Amino acid sequence: MKHLYNFGISQEDERTEAAALEPGCDDRVLCVASAGDMPLSLLALGAGEVHAVDIDDSQLELTRLKLAAVCALSVGNAARFLGFRSATAQWRRERFEDVAQQLTPDSATFWRSRLKTVENGAIWAGRFERYVRRLAPLLLALVGRRRVAAFFASLAAIALAVWAGFRAGSEGAGVFGLLVPTLAALAFMVLMTGDFGLRPVPTNLWGGLMVTLVVAVSGIAASLPLGV
């Protein structure tokens, strides 16, 4: 399936960039457009002028659409129009007429030919976002629903304890060889099912965690066969 662009939402932390660059009203900043969130955030954080570049023209069009939405609509409606919040396809189609007035003729033509993408929320047309959406039901089941998480954690703990028992019996490891894996299994179950009084952290405070995880897992998966 062909994707319109790779990213509908930027994963970078704009506050880190702003703290490093300290942009002021007289400064000009050059940055990669990506999904458009970084250049728009740098403008909001005080940069006088931001030039966004990208090898993918569609990413630039998404950046222009986000800028036009912020200029034409209220903050809440812009979030609904782009897909950060829920809205009907008809509502987004109607708001597009207001947003299109803030676009260049070429950009307006680009998005008019892709109204289905606008109706579904433009941020969800990215390759990365579609991949995450396919995994969302499983992730929500494991992380967001305590009983399901407890079920899988219990299965993992039981399986590990049984494996430890067989291994300890076959190798004559004694009580210590059985106790350590069993305690590890129990600790895993507690970690999976308990919140320990901690509060959930909003995704905008993660600082690019998803990108870090994707790069780390991909690197490990690619390097392991070479190392073996």
In one-letter notation, the amino acid at residue 40 is L
Residues 108-165 pLDDT 10s = 999 999 999 999 999 988 888 887 777 666 655 555 555 556 656 666 666 666 666 6
Residues 159-201 pLDDT 10s = 666 666 666 666 655 566 666 666 766 676 666 666 667 776 6
**pLDDT of amino acid 220:** 78
For 22: left if phi > 0, alpha if psi spans -120 to 50, otherwise beta; the answer is left
Query: At 207, is the pLDDT very low, low, confident or very high (cuts 50, 70, 90)?
Result: low
User: Is 60 exceeded by the pLDDT of residue 1?
Assistant: no
Contact 33, 39 (CB under 8 A): yes
Out of 18-27, 31-40, 219-228, pick the least confident: 219-228
Q: What are phi and psi of 24, to 5 degrees?
A: -120, 180
Contact 18, 109 (CB under 8 A): no
173, HSE (Cβ side, Cα atoms, 13 Å) = 15
Mean pLDDT, the chain, as a whole number? Answer: 79
Q: Which residues are CB-neighbours of 26 under 8 A, at least 6 positions away?
A: 48
pTM over 0.75: no
Query: At 93, is the pLDDT very low, low, confident or very high (cuts 50, 70, 90)?
Result: very high
Contact 42, 53 (CB under 8 A): no
**pLDDT of amino acid 154:** 65
